[in-house]
C-alpha cells in the first residue's frame, strides 16, 4: 500500500476506538476521503478493528452508500419515483445516459461523472427531478439536461 | 437430570435447563425441519423452517431460539406451520437447482438415463454429490413439496475449485449462513461473509476472490457443516466402514474416524464425544492422510549392497540386523526411538536397548523440543508435563501465551483459547512475531528473541513489588522463596525494557493482569524451550505460576504444548537415556533391580547419551552402530551438515520408517514400518491423555508394526521377554512396571482415554497435577539470572534468524510433503522479513534470496511482511529444499542438552 494512503487511513482510525461498532462511521469517513473504498483501505481498517476482512466486505457491499470502485467527480442522480415516472422521469434518464455515455451505476472513463438512480427524492412537487451533487434541479426537460450538464463542466 | 418436562406433539419430553425447544425435540427423536441450526453454533433463527405452534404463545415462534420451559405444549406438524414452511422453502427453491428435490423419478433414475425433465446436466439429482444425504432434500420430502409456486430464476456462477480439498458451488447455496458462522464463531478465521443483499446475496471472501486467495485455513469445517452441496470435498467417496482412532499429527491428539472402502482410507471426520477436539479438525487432521497410500511407501525391507538398496525378505533382513548388532559392544551402539510411534513401540525400543543391547543410549526427538521442560518442570514441580487439561482453558480469566504460535502448531488448542477470549478472558501474547493470536490478545508483548527470562523475571518483580503475590500459597506449598526473591533484584524494569524491547508499562500491566485476573493459565511451546538457556526459561514460567498461586487449580497451570502426537508418551515410556518408563531413574539401584527382575537380565547403571551427544559420538567413531526408528535427524538436527558427516561415519545404520527419508538413504538396512492406520496401539497427548490408536486397514505391502520388528530383532539376538502377539499385552507389561500407567489397560481406554497419573485399576485419571501437593513435595523456586543467546547479530551476520512451524506441514515434512493438496497450500519454504529490512537490502516480495549463517547457507523465497519484527527473519524447517537447520546453532542448554533452534545470526543476500 502506498505510504500516503496508509497515513490517511491511520489518521481516520486515530479518532476511533477499536470497537467493531465503529466500522460504519469509519467507512463513511474513508469514502468521503477517497471517493470510494479501495481494497487496501478496507483491509487496513479490518486490522485496526480486529475484524475479519470478509466482515468489512460484507458491510461495504450491503449498503448502497459504499462504493467499491472509483466514482466520478460529479454525481448525477435521476429520480425514478412514482411522481417523477408519471411526469417523464424515464425520458430524463435516457437523455442523461445518452449525453454521458454511461448506464446507472457506472462512471465515465475520464472519472468526471457517475450516474445513479434514486427511488424518490421527496421533492415530488418538482417532478421530474434530477440531482447533481447537492443541487436539486426540478421540472426537468430533456433540453434542460444538456444545459445543466454543460454548466457543471 | 431432566429438570423440565414439556409436551411435544402429545409426547411427554424431558429437557435440561437452557435447552431450546428444538434441542428438546431432537433429543426425543422428533424431527423438526431446519437448515440453519447446528449444535456447534449459537441459535440463529434465520431459515424460519423450525417454526412451531406453542400453546399460550402468539404467532409461530422459531423452535431453535425459544428456550424450553416446564409445562410447555408444542405442536411441530400442523397445517399452519407447514403452510409457512412451504412458502419459505418455495422462495428458497426459486433460485436453487430443484430437480434433485422434486422430481418424481428421483428414486428410479440411473446416472446415464436421459432425464425426463430435460434439465441441464448440472441440475440432475444423480450428478449432485450430496444426493441422498442432503438436508434440503430431507426438508422437501418432509413437507411433501412437488412443485415450486414462484417464478424460477437461476444463478450461473462459476464453481470455485481453487482450494485443493473442496469445491465451492454457490449455485447450490441456500444462504443458511452456517459456513460463515462456523468460520467466524468457531474457528475465529472469518474467511467468508454474507455479502451484498436481497437476491444478490452471496457468501463471499473479501473482494469476491477465490477461496484460495483469502485467509481461509482449509480446515474444512464449513464443508462438514454445509447442509447442501454448495461446499463439497473433492474426494467425496463414502466409506463403508469407520474406525475410531487418534490423529497422527500434533500433540493435541484429536479424535478422528478413519473411513475406509475397499481397504483404502477415503474419508476422515472429527470425533465428537469425549475427545479434546469436540469434532473439530484442522487441515492436516481432515485432509492430511494421503501419505498412507502414497506410492513412495516402503513395502519391503531393503539391504544396501554395493551402495544400492536391494529388496530383501523379512527373515533375511532381521537376521542380518541381529547378527551385525551382536558384533558391537554395548557402548558402541545407540537406539533412537520416535515420538511418532505408539507407546508400545517406544516401550519395546527402550527395552531392546537396555535389555538386549545392554546400553542406556536411547533417546528420541523430545531432546530437540521439550527436554528443557522435562528438566525445568522436574526441578520445580517434580513432573515435566502439562499440569492442566485443554478443555479447562475456556474458563481462564487470563491466558499468558509465550513462545507458542498456537494457531499454526496446535490449531485445536488455539480454538479453545479464542473461545476463552470470547468468554471474557484476557489473552496476553508474548511473541516477537505478530502471530494470528495477536489479533485476539488484550496485550501483546513483542520481546526480542531469547529475552524470555528477562521478560518473565521483570513481570515477577512487578508482582512482588506491588504485593500481588499469593503469600499463603508460597508459605504452605513452596520452598526456597527468599533466595529467589533476591535474584529478582537484578531485574529492574529499565534493564528489562532495554533487554526485551518491551515498554515498561506494558510489562507491568501484563504482570498485574496475570496476577489478578485469576485463574491464569500459562501456555508455552518451543519458543521457550529451544534456547541455550531453555531450562531457565521453563523455570521462569514455573516461578511465575507458583508466585501467584496459579497452579494445581482448574484453568491455571504451566502448560507446555508438546509437538509430536506421542512425544509425551515416548518420554513417559522411557525412550530417554537417564530414566526407565515412568521417569524412574536408571541411577537408582532399587529401581534398576525391579526392572532387572522383570526383564530377566542385568542392566547398565550409568545414564546413556542424548540424541545430540550420539551424533557427536558417531562423528568421533565412539558410537559405531545406530538403530533409528521413525526419525529424520538429517532435517531436524541443528547444523545438518555436521549431522550428515557424523552419520556417514557410522559402520552400521538401521533405519525403520514408512518412507525412504533423507536419513534412511544413508542406512545400511531399511525396515518398512506400518503407519498409524495399519496398527493398534496408544498415544499419549500433550495433556497426558492416553488414547487408543486403532487399525483401520491392512499394512501396505510387507510392512510390519514397529513393535513387532523390534521384538523380532530382540529375539534374534537372544533377548527374552519379546514374545508379544498384540500390543495390548505390551500395555499390560507397561502397567505392571510404570506407577503412573499402573491402572491403564486397553479395556479402560475405550471412550475418551485416561490421563496419567492413573496408578490403580479403579483410579479415574488425573486432569490436574499438583492439586494437593507438588509431585516432588514442595514447589521449588529457583533463582535465575539473564543469559543472552549464544550467538547474537554482529556486523557480518546482522540479522536474527528464528525458526518455527507452518499450519500446513508437520516437522520434517515426511508425511505432509506427500499430501498433494497441502503442497498447493504451501509448497515451499519462505524466509519472512520485515519491510524495512527488505527495502534496505533491496529485496522484493517473492524474490529468491540466500540466507547465510556461520554453518551454512540456504536459498528460499523472501516473504516481505510486518509479521516479522525489524532485525528478525523467520523460516520454517519443513522443507528439504531450503532446510533451515543448515543454519541453526547447535549450542546446547547445559542441563537439558537442547539446541538453540530459536536464535542464530544470519545475513541475507540477493541471489
B784-819 pLDDT, tens digit per residue, is 999 999 999 999 999 999 999 999 998 888 888 888
Distance, in Å, from the CA atom of B673 to the CA atom of B639, rounded to the nearest integer, reads: 28
Q: What CATH architecture is A5-62?
A: Orthogonal Bundle (1.10)
SS3 per residue for B225-272: HCCCCCEEECCCCCCCEEEEEECCCECCCCEEEEEEECCEEEEEEECC
Query: Which triple of cell numbers denotes residue B542?
Result: 514455573
* B193 close to A (CB below 8 A): yes
Query: Which is higher by pLDDT, B356 or A65?
Result: B356
Q: E strands of B121-254, at which residues? A: 166-168, 192-195, 202-205, 231-233, 241-246
Q: Is B521 helix (H, G, I), strand (E, B) or coil?
A: strand
Query: Which triple of cell numbers denotes residue A38?
Result: 479501495
Q: What are the extents of the domains in chain A? A: 5-62, 74-152
* B681 in Cβ contact with B290 (< 8 Å): no
Query: Do the strands B669-672 and B302-305 form a parallel or antiparallel pair, or are they unpaired?
Result: antiparallel
Q: Chain A: nearest CA to B204, how far in angstroms?
A: 7
* B827 in Cβ contact with B836 (< 8 Å): no
Confidence (pLDDT) at A6? 84
CATH number for the domain formed by residue range(s) A74-152: 3.40.30.10
User: In Å, how far are B333, B854, B871 from B909, measured between CA atoms?
Assistant: 42, 14, 14
User: B166-233 belongs to which CATH class?
Assistant: alpha beta
- Number of Cβ within a 10 Å radius of residue B327: 12
- B192 to chain A: which residues are within 8 Å by CB? 54
Residue in B with minimal Cα distance to A57: B206
Residues B54, B59, B64, B70, CA torsion sign: negative
DSSP H helices, B548-693, are 567-572, 589-599, 611-619, 633-636, 640-648
Residue B462 has pLDDT above 60, yes or no: yes
CATH number for the domain formed by residue range(s) B302-368+580-674+692-739: 3.40.50.740
User: B387-560 belongs to which CATH class?
Assistant: alpha beta
Taking an 8 Å cut-off on Cβ atoms, the answer to whether A55 and B190 are in contact is yes
Q: Among 2.10.10.90, 3.40.50.2000, 3.10.20.740, 2.60.40.1250, what is the CATH number of B3-143? A: 3.10.20.740
Taking an 8 Å cut-off on Cβ atoms, the answer to whether B206 and A62 are in contact is no
Average pLDDT over residues B555-563: 93
What tens digit of pLDDT does each residue of B394-447 get? Answer: 999 999 999 999 999 999 999 999 999 999 999 999 999 999 999 899 999 999
Distance, in Å, from the CA atom of B832 to the CA atom of B343, rounded to the nearest integer, reads: 37
Taking an 8 Å cut-off on Cβ atoms, the answer to whether B206 and A42 are in contact is yes
- Number of Cβ within a 10 Å radius of residue B838: 22
Distance, in Å, from the CA atom of A70 to the CA atom of A39, rounded to the nearest integer, reads: 11
What ipTM goes with this model? 0.84
DSSP state of B472: H
Percent of chain B scored above 70 by pLDDT?
97
Asked if CATH classification 2.40.40.20 holds for the domain at B799-910, the reply, yes or no, is yes
- Number of Cβ within a 10 Å radius of residue B238: 11
Query: Which triple of cell numbers denotes residue B263?
Result: 481397504
What tens digit of pLDDT does each residue of A113-139 get? Answer: 999 899 888 899 998 999 998 899 999
Taking an 8 Å cut-off on Cβ atoms, the answer to whether B190 and A51 are in contact is yes
Residue B106 has pLDDT above 70, yes or no: no
* Cell 470497537 belongs to residue: A19
Confidence (pLDDT) at B127? 67
What tens digit of pLDDT does each residue of B875-906 get? Answer: 998 888 888 888 988 888 888 888 898 999 99
Confidence (pLDDT) at A50? 86
Task: Indicate if A74-152 has the same CATH topology as A5-62.
Answer: no
Greatest distance between any 2 Cα atoms in chain A: 52
To the nearest whole number, what is the mean pLDDT of chain B?
92
- Smallest Cα–Cα separation from B797: which of B870, B874, B906, B886? B906
B485: Cβ contacts below 8 Å, ≥ 6 apart: B464
**B 215-254 residues inside an 8 A Cβ radius of A:** 215
Percent of chain B scored above 90 by pLDDT?
78
Confidence (pLDDT) at B111? 63
Q: Is B561 helix (H, G, I), strand (E, B) or coil?
A: coil
CA B35 to chain centre: 31
B421: Cβ contacts below 8 Å, ≥ 6 apart: B399, B427, B440
- Smallest Cα–Cα separation from B567: which of B304, B284, B764, B346? B346
- A50 to chain B: which residues are within 8 Å by CB? 439-440
- B191 to chain A: which residues are within 8 Å by CB? 52, 54
* Burial environment of residue A64 by CB neighbours within 10 A (0 to 12, 13 to 18, 19 or more): exposed
Average pLDDT over residues A37-59: 92
Q: Determine phi and psi for B732, rounding to 5 degrees.
A: -60, -40
Residue B271 has pLDDT above 70, yes or no: yes
Confidence (pLDDT) at B584? 93
**A 8-47 residues inside an 8 A Cβ radius of B:** 39, 42-43, 46
| Angle formed by the axes of helices A39-49 and A23-34, nearest 10° | 150
Q: Residue B494 is inside which H or E element, if any?
A: helix B493-500
* B804 in Cβ contact with B873 (< 8 Å): no
Q: What are the extents of the domains in chain B? A: 3-143, 166-233, 302-368+580-674+692-739, 387-560, 799-910
- Smallest Cα–Cα separation from B251: which of B370, B420, B377? B370
Query: Which is higher by pLDDT, B263 or B199?
Result: B263
Amino acid at each position: 500500500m502506498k505510504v500516503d494512503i496508509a497515513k490517511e487511513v491511520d489518521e481516520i482510525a486515530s479518532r476511533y476506538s477499536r470497537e467493531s461498532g465503529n466500522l460504519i462511521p469509519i467507512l463513511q469517513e474513508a469514502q468521503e476521503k477517497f471517493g470510494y473504498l479501495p481494497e487496501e483501505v478496507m483491509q487496513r481498517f479490518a486490522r485496526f478493528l480486529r475484524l475479519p476482512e470478509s466482515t468489512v466486505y460484507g458491510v461495504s457491499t450491503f449498503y448502497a452508500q459504499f462504493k467499491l470502485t472509483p466514482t466520478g467527480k460529479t454525481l448525477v442522480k435521476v429520480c425514478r419515483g412514482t411522481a417523477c415516472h408519471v411526469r417523464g422521469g424515464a425520458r430524463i434518464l435516457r437523455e442523461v445516459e445518452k449525453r454521458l455515455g454511461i448506464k446507472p451505476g457506472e462512471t465515465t472513463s475520464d472519472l468526471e461523472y457517475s450516474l445513479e438512480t434514486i427511488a424518490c427524492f421527496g421533492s415530488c412537487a418538482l417532478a421530474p427531478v434530477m440531482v447533481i451533487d447537492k443541487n436539486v434541479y426540478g421540472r426537468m426537460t430533456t433540453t434542460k439536461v444538456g444545459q445543466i450538464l454543460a454548466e457543471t463542466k | 437430570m431432566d429438570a423440565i418436562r414439556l409436551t411435544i406433539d402429545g409426547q411427554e419430553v424431558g429437557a435440561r435447563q437452557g435447552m431450546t425447544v428444538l434441542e428438546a425435540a431432537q433429543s426425543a427423536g422428533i424431527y423438526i425441519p431446519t437448515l440453519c441450526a447446528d449444535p456447534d453454533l449459537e441459535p440463529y433463527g434465520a431459515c424460519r423452517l423450525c417454526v412451531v405452534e406453542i400453546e399460550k404463545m402468539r404467532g409461530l415462534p422459531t423452535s431453535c431460539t425459544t428456550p424450553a420451559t416446564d409445562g410447555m405444549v408444542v405442536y411441530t406438524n400442523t397445517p399452519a406451520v407447514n403452510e409457512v414452511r412451504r412458502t419459505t422453502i418455495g422462495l428458497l427453491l426459486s433460485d436453487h437447482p430443484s430437480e434433485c428435490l422434486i422430481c418424481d423419478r428421483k428414486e428410479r433414475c440411473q446416472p446415464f438415463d436421459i432425464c425426463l425433465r430435460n434439465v441441464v446436466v448440472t441440475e440432475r439429482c444423480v450428478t449432485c454429490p450430496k444426493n441422498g444425504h442432503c438436508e434440503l432434500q430431507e426438508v422437501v420430502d418432509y413437507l411433501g413439496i412437488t412443485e415450486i409456486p414462484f417464478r424460477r430464476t437461476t444463478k450461473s456462477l462459476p464453481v470455485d475449485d481453487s482450494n485443493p480439498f473442496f469445491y465451492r458451488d454457490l449455485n447450490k447455496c441456500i444462504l443458511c449462513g452456517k459456513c460463515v458462522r462456523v468460520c467466524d464463531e468457531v474457528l475465529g478465521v472469518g474467511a467468508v461473509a454474507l455479502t451484498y443483499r436481497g437476491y444478490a446475496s452471496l457468501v463471499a471472501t473479501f473482494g469476491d476472490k477465490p477461496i484460495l486467495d483469502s485467509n481461509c485455513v482449509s480446515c474444512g469445517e464449513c464443508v462438514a457443516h454445509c447442509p447442501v452441496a454448495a461446499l463439497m470435498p473433492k474426494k467425496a467417496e463414502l466409506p463403508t466402514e469407520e474406525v475410531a482412532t487418534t490423529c497422527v499429527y500434533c500433540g493435541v491428539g484429536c479424535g478422528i474416524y478413519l473411513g475406509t472402502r475397499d481397504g483404502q482410507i477415503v474419508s476422515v471426520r472429527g470425533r465428537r464425544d469425549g475427545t479434546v477436539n469436540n469434532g473439530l479438525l484442522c487441515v492436516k487432521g481432515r485432509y492430511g492422510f494421503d501419505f498412507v497410500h502414497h506410492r513412495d511407501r516402503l513395502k519391503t525391507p531393503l539391504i544396501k549392497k554395493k551402495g544400492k538398496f536391494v529388496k530383501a525378505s523379512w527373515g533375511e533382513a532381521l537376521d542380518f540386523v541381529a547378527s551385525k548388532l551382536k558384533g558391537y559392544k554395548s557402548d558402541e551402539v545407540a537406539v533412537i526411538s520416535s515420538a511418532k510411534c505408539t507407546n508400545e513401540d517406544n516401550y519395546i525400543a527402550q527395552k531392546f536397548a537396555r535389555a538386549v543391547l545392554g546400553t542406556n543410549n536411547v533417546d528420541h526427538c523430545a531432546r530437540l523440543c521439550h527436554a528443557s521442560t522435562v528438566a525445568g518442570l522436574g526441578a520445580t514441580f517434580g513432573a515435566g508435563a502439562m499440569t492442566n487439561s485443554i478443555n479447562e482453558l475456556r474458563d481462564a480469566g487470563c491466558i499468558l501465551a509465550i513462545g507458542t504460535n498456537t494457531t499454526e502448531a496446535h490449531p485445536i488448542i488455539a480454538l479453545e483459547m479464542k473461545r476463552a477470549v470470547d468468554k471474557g478472558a484476557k489473552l496476553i501474547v508474548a511473541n516477537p512475531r505478530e502471530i494470528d493470536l495477536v489479533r485476539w490478545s488484550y496485550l501483546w508483548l513483542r520481546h526480542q528473541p531469547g529475552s524470555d527470562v528477562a521478560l518473565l523475571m521483570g513481570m515477577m518483580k512487578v508482582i512482588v513489588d506491588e504485593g500481588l503475590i499469593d503469600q499463603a500459597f508460597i508459605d504452605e506449598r513452596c520452598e526456597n522463596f527468599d533466595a529467589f526473591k533476591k535474584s529478582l533484584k537484578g531485574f529492574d524494569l529499565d534493564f528489562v525494557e532495554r533487554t526485551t524491547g518491551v515498554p515498561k508499562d506494558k510489562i507491568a500491566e501484563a504482570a498485574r493482569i496475570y496476577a489478578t485476573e485469576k485463574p491464569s493459565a500459562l501456555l508455552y511451546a518451543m519458543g521457550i524451550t529451544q534456547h541455550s538457556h531453555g531450562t531457565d526459561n521453563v523455570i521462569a514460567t514455573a516461578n511465575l505460576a507458583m508466585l501467584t498461586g496459579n497452579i494445581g487449580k482448574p484453568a491455571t497451570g504451566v502448560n507446555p504444548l508438546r509437538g509430536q502426537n506421542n512425544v509425551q508418551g515416548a518420554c513417559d515410556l522411557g525412550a530417554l537415556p537417564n530414566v526407565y518408563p515412568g521417569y524412574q531413574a536408571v541411577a537408582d539401584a532399587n529401581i534398576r533391580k525391579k526392572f532387572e527382575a522383570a526383564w530377566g537380565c542385568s542392566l547398565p547403571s550409568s545414564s546413556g547419551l542424548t540424541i545430540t551427544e550420539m551424533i557427536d559420538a558417531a562423528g568421533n567413531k565412539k558410537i559405531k552402530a545406530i538403530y533409528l526408528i521413525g526419525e529424520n535427524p538429517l532435517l531436524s538436527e541443528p547444523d545438518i551438515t555436521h549431522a550428515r558427516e557424523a552419520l556417514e561415519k557410522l559402520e552400521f545404520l538401521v533405519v525403520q520408517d514408512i518412507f525412504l527419508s533423507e536419513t534412511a538413504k544413508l542406512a545400511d538396512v531399511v525396515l518398512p514400518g506400518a503407519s498409524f492406520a495399519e496398527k493398534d496401539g496408544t498415544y499419549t497427548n500433550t495433556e497426558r491423555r492416553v488414547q487408543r490408536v486403532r487399525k483401520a486397514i491392512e499394512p501396505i505391502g510387507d510392512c510390519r508394526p514397529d513393535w513387532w520388528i523390534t521384538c523380532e530383532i530382540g529375539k534374534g539376538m537372544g533377548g527374552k521377554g519379546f514374545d508379544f502377539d498384540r500390543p495390548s499385552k505390551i500395555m499390560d507389561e507397561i502397567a505392571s512396571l510404570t506407577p503412573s500407567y499402573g491402572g491403564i489397560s486397553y479395556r479402560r481406554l475405550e471412550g475418551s482415554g485416561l490421563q496419567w497419573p492413573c496408578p490403580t485399576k479403579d483410579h479415574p485419571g488425573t486432569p490436574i497435577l499438583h492439586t494437593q501437593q507438588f509431585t516432588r513435595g514442595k514447589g521449588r523456586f529457583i533463582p535465575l539470572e539473564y543469559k543472552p543467546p549464544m550467538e547474537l547479530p554482529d556486523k557480518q551476520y546482522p540479522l536474527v534468524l528464528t525458526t518455527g512451524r507452518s499450519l500446513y506441514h508437520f516437522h520434517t515434512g515426511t508425511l505432509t510433503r506427500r499430501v498433494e493438496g497441502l503442497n498447493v497450500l504451501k509448497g515451499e519454504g519462505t524466509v519472512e522479513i520485515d519491510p524495512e529490512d527488505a527495502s534496505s537490502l533491496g529485496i522484493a516480495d517473492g524474490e529468491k534470496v540466500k540466507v547465510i549463517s556461520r554453518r551454512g547457507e540456504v536459498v528460499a523465497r523472501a516473504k516481505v511482511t510486518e509479521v516479522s519484527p525489524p532485525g528478525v527473519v523467520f523460516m520454517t524447517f519443513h522443507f528439504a529444499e531450503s532446510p533451515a537447520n543448515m543454519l541453526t546453532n547447535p549450542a546446547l542448554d547445559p542441563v537439558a542438552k537442547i539446541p538453540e533452534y530459536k536464535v542464530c545470526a544470519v545475513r541475507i543476500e540477493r541471489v
